[in-house]
């Protein structure tokens, strides 16, 4: 893990170009400073997080210990009181379905940009698609709140237009959470997918069409397989972000938004609200470690699945 600073010395008589000494001060600085910062403010906190999960709180004071109490307590409440297991299930369900929907929404967008718009317009269209990313996420969620509220802009607009029967009741459900998340993810996914699709050689599609493939076959046999990596990357990215996000679930899902699994909060929201009410940092750390673990398992399962499909396909 730790980069060796002295290994850059060249074998010959002539030292590393541009420096009088064998190891350039630029090398020491360029590797050393980022490494030092990362060790102090990234590796150390994460290592400490693992440790903190075994510490305890006594008389509102965090006390160093090596105790499994936090984990045991969490285990006991997996299916009781807090129902952590349900929250984890809710998180998995919402994040995976969001990832799927986000890709499903963004991929056709990208196909339309790449294949229906002239090349000279691509840059403008991408700029527009990325625009929401540069405005505040929290404020966008607030905006969605007033759009989706039961008597909000969408429903009142529908009523005003005489379309009462089309009114929707989305706010404080996990569907609203998904809308917020997809809106947050879309600009990034569009960029990732654009890079993938735009790099597909058009001559290949032309060749497929020339060989008699229908438009659908050209998509199915050429474009889709060649987008595979981009689709996988964007879907995993979307799943990770959704799984760790707290804002959409809190502001649009209302903390314990309804889904097919019932009105259960997301695991991330649970961690946040538990800390807000108890400020019990060791216990929060233990919960955070569980979130990391579940996420790693989710990714590993996804990778295994993708791998098996690849073997099946090829």
300 belongs to the binding site for another protein (CB under 8 A): no
DSSP H helices in 81-223 = 84-116, 119-130, 137-148, 153-160, 174-198, 202-210, 215-218
What does the alpha-carbon distance between residue 34 and residue 39 come to, in Å, rounded to a whole number?
8
Nearer residue to another protein within complex by CB, 159 or 305: 159
Torsion (CA) 169, 172, 176, 177 in degrees, nearest 10: -170
SS3 205: helix
The secondary structure of residue 131, as a DSSP letter, is G
Nearer residue to another protein within complex by CB, 236 or 263: 236
121 belongs to the binding site for another protein (CB under 8 A): no
Nearer residue to another protein within complex by CB, 21 or 308: 21
100 belongs to the binding site for another protein (CB under 8 A): no
- CA dist 287 → 73, 271, 273, 274 (Å): 11, 7, 12, 10
In angstroms, what is the minimal distance from the CB of 311 to another protein? 26
Q: How many CA atoms lie within 13 A of 21 on its CB side?
A: 7
What does the alpha-carbon distance between residue 179 and residue 193 come to, in Å, rounded to a whole number?
20
Where does this chain touch another protein (CB under 8 A) — which range of 70-78, 145-153, 163-171, 226-234?
145-153
SS3 263: strand
In angstroms, what is the minimal distance from the CB of 30 to another protein? 3
Q: Whose CA is closest to 113, among 181, 225, 213, 189?
A: 189
Q: Of 72, 75, 77, 151, which one interacts with another protein (CB under 8 A)?
A: 151
Q: How many residues bind another protein (CB under 8 A)?
A: 107
What does the alpha-carbon distance between residue 185 and residue 235 come to, in Å, rounded to a whole number?
10
| Contact characters 222-251, another protein, x per CB under 8 A | ------------------xx-xxxxx--xx
| Contact characters 28-47, another protein, x per CB under 8 A | -xxx-xxx-xx--xxxxxx-
297 belongs to the binding site for another protein (CB under 8 A): no
Nearer residue to another protein within complex by CB, 113 or 264: 113
Where does this chain touch another protein (CB under 8 A) — which range of 70-78, 109-117, 257-265, 300-308?
109-117
What does the alpha-carbon distance between residue 221 and residue 283 come to, in Å, rounded to a whole number?
51
17 belongs to the binding site for another protein (CB under 8 A): yes
Where does this chain touch another protein (CB under 8 A) — which range of 75-83, 130-138, 166-174, 256-264?
130-138
139 belongs to the binding site for another protein (CB under 8 A): yes
- Please give the residues from 183 up to 222 whose contact with another protein meets the rule CB under 8 A: 183, 186-187, 202, 205-206, 208-209, 215, 218-219
What does the alpha-carbon distance between residue 30 and residue 10 come to, in Å, rounded to a whole number?
18
């Amino acid at each position: 893990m730790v980069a060796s600073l002295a290994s850059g010395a060249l074998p010959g008589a002539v030292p590393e170009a541009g420096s009088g000494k064998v190891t350039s001060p630029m090398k020491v600085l360029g590797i050393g400073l980022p490494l030092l910062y990362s060790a102090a403010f990234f590796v150390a906190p994460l290592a400490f997080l693992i440790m903190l999960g075994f510490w305890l709180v006594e008389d509102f004071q965090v006390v160093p210990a090596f105790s499994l109490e936090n984990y045991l307590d969490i285990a006991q409440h997996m299916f009781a009181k807090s129902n952590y297991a349900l929250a984890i299930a809710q998180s998995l369900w919402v994040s995976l379905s969001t990832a799927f929907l986000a890709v499903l929404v963004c991929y056709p967008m990208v196909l339309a940009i790449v294949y229906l718009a002239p090349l000279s317009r691509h840059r403008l269209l991408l700029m527009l698609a990325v625009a929401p990313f540069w405005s505040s996420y929290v404020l966008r969620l607030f905006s969605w709140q007033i759009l989706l509220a039961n008597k909000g802009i969408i429903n009142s607009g529908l009523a005003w237009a005489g379309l009462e029967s089309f009114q929707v009741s989305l706010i404080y459900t996990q569907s609203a959470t998904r809308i917020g998340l997809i809106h947050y993810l879309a600009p990034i996914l569009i960029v990732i997918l654009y890079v993938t699709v735009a790099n597909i050689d058009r001559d290949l599609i032309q060749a497929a069409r020339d060989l008699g493939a229908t438009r659908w076959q050209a998509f199915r046999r050429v474009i889709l397989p060649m987008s595979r990596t981009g689709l996988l990357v964007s879907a995993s990215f979307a799943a990770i972000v959704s799984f760790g996000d707290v804002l959409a679930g809190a502001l649009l899902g209302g903390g314990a938004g309804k889904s097919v699994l019932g009105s259960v909060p997301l695991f991330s929201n649970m961690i946040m609200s538990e800390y807000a009410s108890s400020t019990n940092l060791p216990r929060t750390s233990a919960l955070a470690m569980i979130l990391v673990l579940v996420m790693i398992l989710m990714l590993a399962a996804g990778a295994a699945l993708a791998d098996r499909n690849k073997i099946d396909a090829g």
